[in-house]
């Protein structure tokens, strides 16, 4: 299962790494391909994870989900 998130506030590879680590720590998220240039994260998941859980994790890390 794949899900794409639009994320604002990432400006560099360090931001990408922070968001990637945050998302991959969530149970059910197998991997996250994060791009600060595209302002997005493409998640590969082993089970359905509620959007609200993903959004809260990213926003708690200091970024905005659109």
- What CATH number does the domain containing 8 carry? 3.30.70.100
CB distance 63 to 8 below 8 Å? yes
Containing structural domain, residue 15: 2-65
- Residue 65: what pLDDT? 97
- Residue 17: what pLDDT? 97
- Residue 23: what pLDDT? 98
- Residue 61: what pLDDT? 97
- Residue 55: what pLDDT? 97
Of 15, 64, 65, 62, which Cα lies nearest the Cα of 37?
15
Task: Report the domain count for the chain.
Answer: 1
The tens digit of pLDDT for each residue in 4-61 reads 999 999 999 999 999 999 999 999 999 999 999 999 999 999 999 999 999 999 999 9
- Encode 7-19 in three state secondary structure: EECCCCHHHHHHH
Of 47, 50, 45, which Cα lies nearest the Cα of 30?
45
């Amino acid at each position: 299962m794949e899900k794409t998130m639009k994320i604002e506030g990432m400006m560099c590879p360090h931001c990408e790494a922070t968001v990637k680590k945050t998302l991959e720590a969530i149970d059910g998220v197998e991997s996250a391909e994060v791009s600060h240039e595209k302002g997005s994260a493409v998640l590969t998941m082993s089970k359905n994870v509620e959007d609200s859980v993903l959004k809260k994790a990213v926003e708690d890390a200091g970024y905005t989900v659109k």
